[in-house]
């Protein structure tokens, strides 16, 4: 009769304090979550909560992946921006004073065109 290797079938279990440390939560929160069935690998033999270390590590890893995916979905996409002014789009690479001069010139030109059109009517 062959003797089985017991270590390969027994998974390491830890108590609430160690599980709380792995999860980064308080012991009370871990206990409440375990009672609600929210933590995989939780069991309460003989009235003491114990947790499967491998299942906890997988749980943390999957939680981190979910958070990362959500953050990527919410992260704004990189967009090439064009500065807007009251008169429209502004070409990049100009100084504010150059832009100001162009806007003033454009406003004067529009005012003169309006005056001409009013005189003609």
* pLDDT tens-place values along the chain, 121 residues long: 445 454 556 779 999 999 999 999 999 999 999 999 999 999 998 999 999 999 999 999 999 999 888 888 887 766 555 555 555 555 566 778 888 888 899 999 999 998 888 888 7
Q: Give Cβ neighbours of residue 26 (< 8 Å, ≥ 6 apart).
A: 20
φ and ψ at residue 90, rounded to 5 degrees: -110, 130
**Does 28 lie in the same domain as 64?**
yes
Whether residues 116 and 67 share a domain: the answer is no
Q: Give the number of other CB atoms < 10 A from CB of residue 13.
A: 19
| Full residue range of the structural domain in which residue 108 is found | 84-120
Shared domain for 16 and 48, answered yes or no, is yes
pTM value > 0.85: no
Sheet holding 50-52, edge to edge: 13-15, 50-52, 42-43
Residue 14 in tokens: 């830890």
38, part of any domain: yes
And the tokens for 6? 């017991």
Tokens of 36: 């609600």
**Co-location of 105 and 69 in the same domain:** no
Q: How many domains in the chain? A: 2
């Amino acid at each position: 009769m062959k003797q089985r290797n017991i270590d390969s079938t027994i998974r390491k279990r830890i108590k609430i304090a160690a599980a709380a440390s792995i999860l980064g939560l308080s012991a009370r929160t871990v206990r409440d979550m375990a009672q609600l069935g929210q933590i995989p690998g939780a069991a309460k033999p003989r009235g003491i909560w114990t947790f499967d270390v491998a299942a906890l590590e997988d749980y943390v890893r999957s939680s981190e992946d979910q958070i990362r995916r959500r953050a990527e979905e919410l992260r704004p996409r990189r967009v090439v921006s064009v500065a807007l002014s009251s008169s429209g789009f502004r070409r990049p690479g100009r100084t504010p004073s150059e832009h100001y001069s162009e806007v003033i010139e454009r406003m004067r030109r529009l005012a003169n065109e309006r005056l001409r059109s009013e005189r003609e009517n």
